[in-house]
Amino acid sequence: MTFRLAQISDTHLSAAHPEFVANFDRLAAHLRERKFDLVVNTGDISAHGELAADDLHFALARHQALGLDWLAIPGNHDVGNDPAVGGKTPADAPRLRRWLDILGPDHFLRDIPGWRLIGLDTLITDTDLPQAEAQFAFLQQALDGAGSRRIGLFLHKPLCEQTMAETIVTYWSVQEAPRHRMLALLRQANVGFVASGHVHQWRDRGHSEGLRQVWAPAVAFMVGDTWQHAVGEKRLGYVEHLLYADGRHECQMVEVEGLVRNDLGLMPHAYGPQPVLAVAESV
């Protein structure tokens, strides 16, 4: 039997942003109709969870109302961002505690026929929080114990912007040191795919540097070309993953009828004005 998984991402839920909630509710109805076996939200589940608890509670309630089995990992708008990026809301102990208290664990392991699904909190990987070290131990153990199962890995930030060898401190991907640490573990495992969010652009990277990499589109909004460079496709929707017990994997982006193509650049009330012709820092 084929396991059908819907990867949704960047839902940015908040009672303060009905435009984003409307997209989520439309998507939720679509996913319910299609009776997915599992929904995985790859982060930025909330709009402002890095600032206060309200949006995390709101996002939790909306996901509980899905009526489907679901899992979530945090994004920078849920637990704060990589401290190296230098923003005002770094991932730290209180922010992580807030997620753990409201949403539960920030990483997961789920075994299904032929596959071991692993979700990680990429926002703490470049911090000195004890949970960061514990998560690397969890990853090692999860990979070592996978047996004949293939690995499906879910992250908020992609492993890199363009190439695993890049050395930039970047808003857009896992930072250099934790990237190489994760890669050293992943290279020794049977990884079927790495699926991420955060960029708000759909990009099927195919097999790149030995890993099948997929960037999910956002649900809540895209960022127009005036404010964010196009590196993929600025469409809204989700990724359908088909996981076969023999280890085969297929995926495709699905557009959902009725989703409104919100442009963050035209919505300064959400995250403030976006810098023109620069890399936006609000997704």
Binding interface with Fe ion (CB under 5 A): 10, 44, 75-76, 198, 283
CB of 87 to Fe ion, least distance (A): 11
| Closer of 91 and 142 to Fe ion (Cβ) | 91
CB of 147 to Fe ion, least distance (A): 33
| Closer of 10 and 50 to Fe ion (Cβ) | 10
| Closer of 72 and 142 to Fe ion (Cβ) | 72
| Closer of 31 and 199 to Fe ion (Cβ) | 199
- The residue of the chain with the least Cβ separation from Fe ion equals 44
| Closer of 75 and 90 to Fe ion (Cβ) | 75
Token pair for 83: 């401290």
CB of 223 to Fe ion, least distance (A): 9
CB of 78 to Fe ion, least distance (A): 9
CB of 171 to Fe ion, least distance (A): 9
| Closer of 44 and 82 to Fe ion (Cβ) | 44
Tell me, letter by letter, the H, E, C secondary structure of the chain: CCEEEEEECCCCECCCCHHHHHHHHHHHHHHHHHCCCEEEECCCCECCCCCCCHHHHHHHHHHHCCCCCEEECCCHHHHCECHHHCCCCECCHHHHHHHHHHCCCCCEEEEECCEEEEECCHHHCCCCCHHHHHHHHHHHHHHHCCCCCEEEEECCCCCCCCCCCCCCCCCCCCCHHHHHHHHHHHCCCCEEEEEECCCCCEEEEEEECCEEEEECCECCCECCCCCCCCCCECCECEEEEEECCCCCEEEEEECCCCCCCCEHHHCHHHHCCCCCCCCCCCC
Pairwise CA distance, residues 212 & 116, whole Å = 15
| Closer of 44 and 55 to Fe ion (Cβ) | 44
CB of 5 to Fe ion, least distance (A): 20
CB of 218 to Fe ion, least distance (A): 6
